[in-house]
Amino acid sequence: MATEHAIGIDIGGTGIKGAVVDLGTGLLVTERFKVRTPEGGRPGDILRATEELLSGIADEADGTKLPLGLCFPAVVKHGRTLSAANISEEWIGLPAEELFEQALGREIHFINDADAAGIAELRYGAIAGVAGVAILTTLGTGIGSAIINDGVLVPNTELGHLELDGHDAERRAAYSAMERETLSWEQWAHRLQRYYSHLEFLFSPDLFVVGGGVSKHHELFLSLLDLRTPIVPAVHRNNAGILGAASLATR
C-alpha cells in the first residue's frame, strides 16, 4: 500500500476497533476490524487484544508496516496515561505509549480519544476550514471534548468534568444520563442547554460540534437548544477515533 495510508486504532471501554485509512480522503480502505475490550480493561489484557486486532488489519494490508496511530480513553501527556475512563485504574501513570510500542513491535502516535475525534472533524469533517475556536463534544457514557483553535488542537481538555450545579457536567448531561433516568429528548435537551450555555460563557466559541453515537439522532435534540453559537452534528461518528488517530500517525 502507498504511504498515503495509515492504520488507526480506537480503544474504548467496550470495544477496540481499527482500519486502514486513506489520509487524503479520510475514507477507510479496509473493513473496520473490532474486538471486545477485555472485561476490567486491565493493561496486559488490552495490550494483547490490541495486538490481536492489529494482526487482522496487517493481514488485510498485505503485512505492510504502515504508520500507526492509536487513541485511548484517558488524558495522555508525554506518552503517559494520567486518567482512566471506563477502563482499569491501573492505567493511571503508566508509560502507555511505550507499552503499546513494545507489544505491537512498531512506533505509534498516541492520543486521547476525544482529541482524535476533534482532529478527524478538523481534517475531514465539520471543523474543516473553520476559523476561531471550535469545540467538539462527544455525548456517550461521559462527555469527551476537544478544543480546536484556528486549526490547532488544545489537548486533554476534559470539559465533561466541569462542575455544574454541584455535579460533574457529564453526570447529568451525557447520553448515559438520558438512558439511566429515562429522560425525554426535551428533558435531556434542557440539561444540554445548561451545559452548552456554560461552555459558551467560558469560551465564546465560534462553533460547537456534537459527536458520539447519539449524534445520528441530532434532529431530535439540537434544534431544541437556544445558543448564540452554531451547533452542528459531527460528520464522522463511529469512525472518528480511527480517522483522527491514523491522520496523526505520520507526524
- Tens of pLDDT along 207-223? 999 998 899 999 999 99
Supply the pLDDT for residue 85: 81
Do the bridges between strand 167-168 and strand 5-11 make them parallel or antiparallel, or are there none, so unpaired? Answer: unpaired
Is the pLDDT score of 114 beyond 70?
Answer: yes
Distance CA 1, CA 65 (A): 10
The C-alpha cell that represents 90 in the structure block: 491501573
Instruction: Render pLDDT for 225-245 as a digit per residue (tens, 0 to 9).
Output: 999 999 999 999 889 999 999
pLDDT at 14: 85
Using the predicted structure, report yes or no on whether residue 62 has a pLDDT greater than 70.
no
pLDDT at position 58, please?
A: 81
Give the span between the Cα atoms of 146 and 129, in whole angstroms. Answer: 16
CA distances from 236 to 96, 171, 239 (A): 26, 24, 6
Mean pLDDT of the chain: 94
Question: Counting Cβ atoms within 10 Å, is residue 33 exposed (0-12), middle (13-18) or buried (19+)?
Answer: buried
Q: Which three cell numbers stand for residue 107?
A: 512506533
- Angle among Cα 32, 17, 56 to the nearest 5 degrees reads 65
Give the tens place of pLDDT for each residue, 120-170.
Answer: 999 999 999 999 999 999 998 899 999 999 999 999 999 999 999 999 999
List b or e across 165-198, with b for residues whose CB sees 16 or more CB atoms inside 10 angstroms: eeebbbbbbbbbbbeeeebeeeebbebbbebbbb
Residue 1: predicted pLDDT? 45
Element (H, E) at 140: none
Q: How confident is the model at residue 61 (pLDDT cuts 50, 70, 90)?
A: low
pLDDT at 86: 82
What is the three-class DSSP state of 105?
coil
